[in-house]
Amino acid sequence: MPKSDSQKTYRVVELTAENIMRLKAINIKPDGNVVVITGKNEAGKSAALNALWIGFGGGDVTRNIDNILRSGEKEGSISIDIGEFVIDRKFKLRDDGSVHEKIELRNKDGAIFKQPQTLLKAMMDTRTADSMAFARMKPKEQVDTLMQAIGKSDELEALQAERERLFADRTIVNGGVRNMEGELAGLAVPDVPDGVVDDNPKEVSASDIIGEIEKARQENKANDRERDEFDTSIAARDVIVGKIETLKGQLKTAQQDLKRAVEILQDRREKVHALSPDIEINPLQDKLRDIETINAAVRDVIRYREAATKLTQKKAEASDMTAKIDECDAQKAKIVASADLPVKGLTIGDGQLLYNGQTLNDSADSVKLRVSVAMAMKLNPKIRVLRITDGALLDSEAMEQIHEMADEHDFQIWIERVEDQSKTAVVIEDGSVKERVKPKAKAKPKAKAS
């Protein structure tokens, strides 16, 4: 089944450039997925990769280049054949020293497209297709680029903003925890004074104690009155008994009086027996005298327990925020893990990228290379052309890694190196492609005469 336009991908079939920077004229037809441009310093190898990038990016690239045209030349050109399309750029020196640029994008049938640079930008971003550009970015730029590659930047930005808010709030809460721990450490664990309820210690009120003393006095006075009345009743009984002895004639009346007196006596006796013991006033007076010492101890207990309770609450608040931060990290990791990235193990940490749990900037150079190349591939799925300008820093192991990634993901990677012994390397010498000398075939030995 033929691919739809949205599924089609493109690579450089042929690159031609003339009078661009140090180049005189070059024509390169890539052989394989890795295109190595090599040559001595100032021979034009950087210009060859720049010509490729100018061809794709136009003004996004040329604004950072001082001299587009080769010294002494007034016109130059770049042509890139990517299979179904050809990109032509022509440059002409104006009288005022500026350079006029003209671009033409046409298909194989010769049809010319309007707004060619807009179409090219939609298929390729020369900034991200520079393979090592991602590794050179600042941590926040790497995070933003990764979110762009995943295609869920709004969701990830919301999670990152929530994480940053929680992190800032937790920092404040943890500051409170440290302050409270210091405050609690400065308080000795006090003993609850005798007579104070341990579960809910409260200061003792002097007015309450004075009230208790006054109540005790009144109750004791009432008891004394009862005792006095009791004694009076006994005396009255004795008087009546005497009258009975002396006043036999008044016996009936006296007996009635006696009966009443006995009833009253019985009532008084019951009341006296029902009386509670007298309240000791001396302990209350001692308590009143020591009230400030007791209340100071109670206040220490209350203050210590309040501080301990607040500390526990603050620690719980910080722990809750930590759990929420971990949840944000887990959701971000899940989104990143579900993305179709050419390299696994990437996730977003605290404002920076992590690879297998380690910050990307602290990872090995081989990891940075793999991740950076992978991100360039992810961000440029249409025109599958990448470049590495600092290829001189790549050792044999890194080059092998690049070959593997290019083959695995079907990308074309152009690399600038000072030296390269591969058979497919393109050698630039004095602004032109140096023809490789093919080794002469060995002469076949002549047949011996029979």
What does the CA dihedral 35, 41, 42, 43 come to, rounded to 10 degrees? -50
pLDDT of 2 higher than 70: no
On whether residue 158 sits in a domain, the answer given is no
pLDDT of residue 9: 92
On whether residue 402 sits in a domain, the answer given is yes
Count of beta carbons in the 10 Å neighbourhood of residue 174 = 16
On whether residue 134 sits in a domain, the answer given is no
Alpha-carbon gap, residue 373 to 131, rounded angstroms:
5
Same structural domain, 111 and 170: no
Same structural domain, 194 and 100: no
What does the CA dihedral 253, 259, 265, 266 come to, rounded to 10 degrees? -170
Same structural domain, 179 and 303: yes
Lowest-pLDDT choice from 203-217, 226-240, 334-348: 334-348
Domain count for the chain, please give it.
2
CATH number (domain holding residue 72): 3.40.50.300
pLDDT above 70 as % of the chain: 92
C-alpha dist (Å) from residue 344 to 87, 150, 333, 357, 410: 35, 13, 11, 12, 18
pLDDT of 346 higher than 60: yes
For 191, the domain range is 163-314
On whether residue 372 sits in a domain, the answer given is no
**How many Cα neighbours within 13 Å face the side chain of 400?**
3
Same structural domain, 119 and 212: no
Q: Which residues are registered as beta bridge partners of 413?
A: 34, 386
141-154 pLDDT per residue, tens: 888 887 777 777 78
CA 85 and chain centroid, separation:
45
Alpha-carbon gap, residue 329 to 327, rounded angstroms:
5
On whether residue 47 sits in a domain, the answer given is yes
**Structural domain ending residue among the three candidates 314, 343, 365:** 314
Q: Which residues are registered as beta bridge partners of 265?
A: none
Same structural domain, 170 and 273: yes
Confidence band, pLDDT 50/70/90 cuts, at residue 249: low
8-60 pLDDT per residue, tens: 899 999 999 999 999 999 999 999 999 999 999 889 999 999 999 999 998 88
* DSSP annotation string for 252-301: HHHHHHHHHHHHHHHHHHHHHHHPPPPPPHHHHHHHHHTHHHHHHHHHHH
Same structural domain, 200 and 293: yes
Please report, as a single letter, which amino acid is at residue 256: Q
Tell me the pLDDT of the chain averaged across its residues.
85
Same structural domain, 8 and 109: yes
Treating both helix axes as pointing N-terminal to C-terminal, what angle do 153-185 and 291-338 enclose, rounded to 10 degrees? Answer: 160
On whether residue 250 sits in a domain, the answer given is yes
Q: Which residues contact 313 (CB under 8 A, 6 or more apart)?
A: none
Same structural domain, 202 and 273: yes
**Structural domain ending residue among the three candidates 314, 344, 364:** 314
pLDDT of residue 443: 54
Question: What's the mean pLDDT in 187-203?
Answer: 72
On whether residue 320 sits in a domain, the answer given is no
Same structural domain, 260 and 197: yes
Confidence band, pLDDT 50/70/90 cuts, at residue 438: low
Same structural domain, 119 and 243: no
Question: What's the mean pLDDT in 122-149?
Answer: 83
Confidence band, pLDDT 50/70/90 cuts, at residue 247: low
Same structural domain, 34 and 121: yes
Same structural domain, 91 and 13: yes
On whether residue 418 sits in a domain, the answer given is yes
**Structural domain ending residue among the three candidates 291, 314, 337:** 314
419-431 pLDDT per residue, tens: 877 888 999 999 9
